[in-house]
């Protein structure tokens, strides 16, 4: 059984309701989803020494390996004349502060250990067991994301993220990071967005499934990602109000919000 499916079946509530339970939990309740410092240290597979900090979610080690943090995404620092995204430099500085006197970092892994850029994918902790990913999420300087099949700590990360969102910390102050109705989304929007809307139609192409929200905007699910949606019957979603998070772009002439796993879809099952 796939890891994501196993995690889903372990929950006491229905999958999607439990997934977004963090919308109502307090920070004390949220902590029940997260490992303690001692547990974080027990999970460390190896230790490394930080040589360079690239941005809020990427570091280089002294052994020349590039490490991309699993489960979070921080705003991009501008390169080659491009402007930095809002809060990118703050995320970078926050990571510098975390690692300034703690260059030794512990690495633990999920199912995929490398990304398409050959970077090492890891969860990173300090010598005292503090999670670097959790620290950035708590400050509102990172988004929690799932790049399948790596989803080991998503419940913890989503709960911490929601606390930062409710407190309007960091990136959660920005208009583009608020929930927006599908018909209000600009045709020029791109990047990671949070969108709600009623599914009016279901359709398929050779490589994708589409859930139409407006005449100009659809949710897109790549068929290669269907194993990560085993709990969802897409055809049954017609007429239902959804909240989704994913990457908005233009794909084959149409605007779509690309959703990678069932963790990124919320709807009322009743």
Question: Each residue of 15-67: pLDDT tens digit?
Answer: 333 333 333 334 555 567 899 999 999 999 999 999 999 999 999 999 999 99
In this prediction, residues 230-259 reach a mean pLDDT of: 92
Residue 4 pLDDT grade (very low, low, confident, very high; cuts 50, 70, 90): low
Rounded to an integer, what distance in angstroms lies between the CA atom of residue 12 and that of residue 162? 20
User: What is the per-residue pLDDT across 28-42, written as a single tens digit (0 to 9) for each?
Assistant: 555 678 999 999 999
pLDDT of residue 21: 36
Rounded to an integer, what distance in angstroms lies between the CA atom of residue 73 and that of residue 58? 10
**What is the overall mean pLDDT for the chain?**
88
Q: Which is nearest to 248 in space by CA: 226, 210, 220?
A: 220
The whole-model pTM stands at 0.86
pLDDT of residue 27: 52
Q: Which is nearest to 126 in space by CA: 47, 35, 27?
A: 47
User: What is the per-residue pLDDT across 177-191, written as a single tens digit (0 to 9) for each?
Assistant: 999 999 999 988 988
Q: Which residue in this structure is represented by tokens 């309007």?
A: 168
Catalytic residues: 68, 76, 119
Count Cβ atoms below 10 Å from residue 144 Cβ, excluding itself: 24
**Domains of the chain, start order:** 15-171 (2.40.50.90), 179-267 (2.40.50.140)
């Amino acid at each position: 059984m796939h890891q994501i499916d196993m995690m889903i079946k372990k929950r006491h509530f229905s999958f999607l309701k439990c997934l977004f339970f963090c919308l109502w939990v307090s920070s004390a309740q949220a902590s029940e989803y997260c490992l303690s410092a001692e547990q974080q240290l027990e999970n460390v597979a190896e230790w490394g020494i930080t040589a360079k900090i690239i941005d809020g979610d990427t570091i280089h080690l002294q052994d020349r390996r590039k490490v991309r943090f699993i489960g979070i995404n921080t705003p991009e620092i501008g390169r080659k004349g491009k402007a930095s995204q809002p809060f990118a430099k703050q995320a970078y500085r926050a990571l510098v502060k975390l690692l300034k006197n703690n260059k030794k970092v512990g690495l633990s892994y999920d199912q995929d250990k490398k990304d398409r850029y050959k970077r090492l994918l890891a969860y990173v902790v300090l010598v005292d067991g503090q999670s670097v990913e959790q620290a950035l999420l708590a400050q509102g300087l990172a988004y929690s994301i799932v790049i399948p099949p790596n989803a080991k700590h998503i419940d913890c990360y989503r709960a911490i993220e929601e606390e930062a969102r409710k407190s309007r910390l960091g990136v959660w102050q920005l208009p583009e990071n608020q929930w927006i109705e599908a018909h209000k989304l600009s045709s020029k929007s791109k990047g990671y967005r949070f969108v709600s809307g009623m599914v009016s139609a279901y359709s398929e192409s050779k490589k994708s499934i589409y859930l139409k929200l407006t005449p100009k905007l659809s949710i897109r699910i790549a068929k290669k990602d269907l194993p990560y949606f085993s709990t969802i019957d897409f055809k049954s979603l017609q007429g239902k109000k959804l909240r989704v998070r994913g990457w908005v772009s233009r794909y084959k002439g149409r605007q779509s919000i690309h959703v990678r796993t069932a963790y990124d879809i919320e709807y009322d099952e009743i």
